[in-house]
Amino acid sequence: MSRIDLLDAATAPISAKSSFADGDPGPIVAALANVPELLGPTLGFVGAALGDGAVSTRHKEFAILRTSALQGCQYCIHAHTAVAFDLGLSSDEIRALRGEMPIEEAFTNDAERRLIRWIDAMAGATGPIPSTVWEDVRTDFATHLLVELSVTIGATLFLNRFATAFELPTSAATAERLEEAGMQ
Amino acid sequence: MSDTATVVGEESDLQGGHPVTEAIADGLLPGRIWLYTNYNCNLACSYCLTESSPRSERRELDPATMIEVAKQGRALGFTGLGVTGGEPFLLPWLPETIVAMAAELPVILLSNATLFVGERLERAAVLAGHDVSIQISLDSHIADVNDMARGPDNFDKVVEAVPRLIARGVHVRIATTTAWSPDDDRLEPLRQLVTSMGVAPEDHLVRPIVRRGRADELSLGIEARPIDIPSELTITADGAFWGSFGPTVRGGRLDTDLLLTRTVLPLSMPAEVLVGLLKGMPAGNDARLGIR
C-alpha cells in the first residue's frame, strides 16, 4: 500500500492522460502524475539516464541494481532484479549486486570488479571518490562512459528515494517472477 | 514567486505574440480566469461541486496570489475574472482584494448572499463603483424548493440581501441552478421575482447541475466530459484546473482528472498547458450543455 494516491486512468490529470493511454504505467508514473507538470521532464530525464546509451546495458544495470541495493530501495531492487534476469545476468551476479554474496565470488572480470567498486564509491558513500578507485576504473572505462554512468547512478538515487519515501508497491507480476526465481 | 512571473507579465510580451494571448484572441481559450478563494462554506448545498460546508477545510488562496493572478492574467490577454468558493465572503480580507483585482480585470464574484447583514454588508459595499458583479444563487421562487437544496432560510436571506446590495450601489447578478432549460416557462415566476428585486433580466443566469462532486454522489444533474465543460483556466490552492467545474471534491477527496498543473504562478505555465491541450482537442462546441 503506497503512502500517496497512485493515480489511474480515471483519476489521471487531463494534462497527463497520455501516460495512461496504454494501460497501467506503473507506480512511479502513477505517483508522479500527482504533479503533472513534473511528469514529462522527469520521465524524459529518467528515460535518458536509464535507457540505451554508449554504456552497455549490462554495465548500466550494474549501476542501477547496485545503487538500489546500497540504498535499500525494495521497489527498485525488485524491479531491476527482473530486468537483470532479462538482460542475461546470472543468479550469482544478481545476488552479488544485491549485496547477498561477495562481488569477487560472482565476478571474475577485473574491469567489472573495478567498475562495481567505483559504483559503490559513488552510490554507497559520501565525500570524495578515493583516487585509487578513480584511477582503477579509468583504466577500462572512457570518460564519457563514466559521465553517462554517473547520470544513471544519480537518476537511480532519485528513484530510490522517491520509491522508498512513498512506499511504492512492487507489481504483482514482478513479485511472481522473483518468487519463481527464489529472489524476493 | 519566481522572476519568470514578472517577465511573462510584462506588456512587451503581448506584442511578441504569446501563445496564450493568441489563443484568447482567436477564441480558442476562454478569456475568463476562475479563482477558488476557499473551500469552506456556511451552507452545504446538495449539488455542491466541492462538497463545501462549515466542516470543509478552508484551503484558501492568499490575497497576494489572487492579485498576482489578476495582474498576470491581464498581461497575458485574459479579459475577466470569476471568483468563487466555498463562500468567499467568509474571508475577512476579501473585499479589498477584489477591489485590487478589479483594477486589473472585471470581476464576477459568486456568493450565497446569506452573510450580507451588519458589518459584512457594509464591507461588501466597498465593491460599489468598481468593475465587480456579485453573482448570487437563487434556485426557485418558492422558498421551500430553494431551501431544500440550499439550506433553511436561504431564500429569505437572499431576497433580503439583494435589494440591500443594490441600494448600496453594488452590481448584482442572479444565478439559478436547475434541471430545467433556461427558456422553460416554469422559470417565469422566478424571472419576475428576480426583476422585482432590481436585477436586470440580462443579469439572470440559468445553468444546469453538473454531475460532479456531491451532485455525482447523489446522481444529480448532467454528465459532463471535459469537452462539455468550458475550458476556463481555474486557479485553486490545489493547483490549476481545466474549467471551474474541474476542482471538484467527492467523498472528501479532490478530483484530479481535470488538473492541469500544481503550479499556478507564473500564470503562463498552466495557461500554456491548457492551450496545448485545446490545440490537441477535436473542433467542437465546448458549451453545448449550456454549462456556465
Q: Which residues of B touch A35 (CB under 8 A)?
A: 261-262
Residue B236 pLDDT:
97
Residue B226 pLDDT:
67
Span B124-163, pLDDT tens digits: 999 999 999 999 999 999 999 999 988 889 999 999 999 9
Q: Which residues of A touch B233 (CB under 8 A)?
A: none
Average model confidence (pLDDT) across chain B: 88
Q: Pick from A14, A20, A32 the residue to mutate for testing the B interface (most B CBs within 10 Å).
A: A14
- More reliable by pLDDT, B25 or A183: B25
Give ranges for CATH 1.20.1290.10 in chain A.
54-180
Residue B32 identity? R
Count the neighbouring beta carbons within 10 Å of the beta carbon of residue A135: 10
Residue B282 pLDDT:
54
Distance CA B270, CA B233 (A): 8
CATH ID of A54-180, from 2.40.110.10, 3.30.70.580, 1.20.1290.10, 1.10.443.10: 1.20.1290.10
**Cβ <8 Å between A11 and B260:** no
CATH of domain B3-279: 3.20.20
Distance CA B135, CA B151 (A): 18
Residue A100 identity? E
pLDDT at B7 over 70: no
Helix axis angle for B63-76 and B94-102, nearest 10°, is: 10
**Cβ <8 Å between B273 and A34:** no
**Cβ <8 Å between B242 and A10:** no
Contact status of A40 with chain B (Cβ, < 8 Å): no
Contact status of A56 with chain B (Cβ, < 8 Å): no
Identify the weakest region by mean pLDDT among B45-49, B63-67, B94-98: B45-49
Distance CA A181, CA A178 (A): 5
8 A C-beta contact, residue A141 and residue A54 = no
Span B155-166, pLDDT tens digits: 999 999 999 999
C-alpha dist (Å) from residue B269 to B1, B22, B232, B240, B249: 13, 15, 14, 9, 24
- Smallest Cα–Cα separation from B35: which of B77, B4, B74, B80? B80
pLDDT at B12 over 80: no
8 A C-beta contact, residue A16 and residue A110 = no
Single pTM value for the model: 0.88
Q: Which residues of A touch B252 (CB under 8 A)?
A: none
Name the DSSP class of B92.
Answer: T
Distance CA A7, CA A32 (A): 9
Q: Which residues of A touch B257 (CB under 8 A)?
A: 10-14
Residue A52 identity? D
pLDDT band of residue A30 (cuts 50, 70, 90) is: very high
pLDDT at B10 over 80: no
Q: Which residues of A touch B253 (CB under 8 A)?
A: 5
The tally of CA atoms less than 13 A away on the side-chain side of residue A40 is 10
Residue B1 pLDDT:
38
- Listed by start position, the domains of chain B span 3-279
What average pLDDT does range B76-87 have in this prediction? 97
Residue B149 pLDDT:
83
Q: Pick from A4, A37, A39, A42 the residue to mutate for testing the B interface (most B CBs within 10 Å).
A: A37
**Chain A residue with minimal CA distance to B264?**
A37
**Cβ <8 Å between B257 and A13:** yes
- Smallest Cα–Cα separation from B34: which of B80, B2, B75? B80
Of B253, B255, B259, nearest to A36 by CB-CB distance is B259
Of A11, A14, A37, nearest to B269 by CB-CB distance is A37
Helix axis angle for A57-71 and A74-86, nearest 10°, is: 160
**Cβ <8 Å between A14 and B261:** no
**Chain A residue with minimal CA distance to B253?**
A5
**Chain B residue with minimal CA distance to A16?**
B260
Residue entry with cell 489511474: A8
8 A C-beta contact, residue B47 and residue B218 = yes
Give B192's contacts (C-beta < 8 A, 6+ positions apart). Answer: B141
Please state whether beta strands B171-177 and B249-250 pair in parallel, antiparallel, or not at all (unpaired). Answer: unpaired
Report residue A30 as a C-alpha cell.
Answer: 502513477
pLDDT band of residue B292 (cuts 50, 70, 90) is: very low
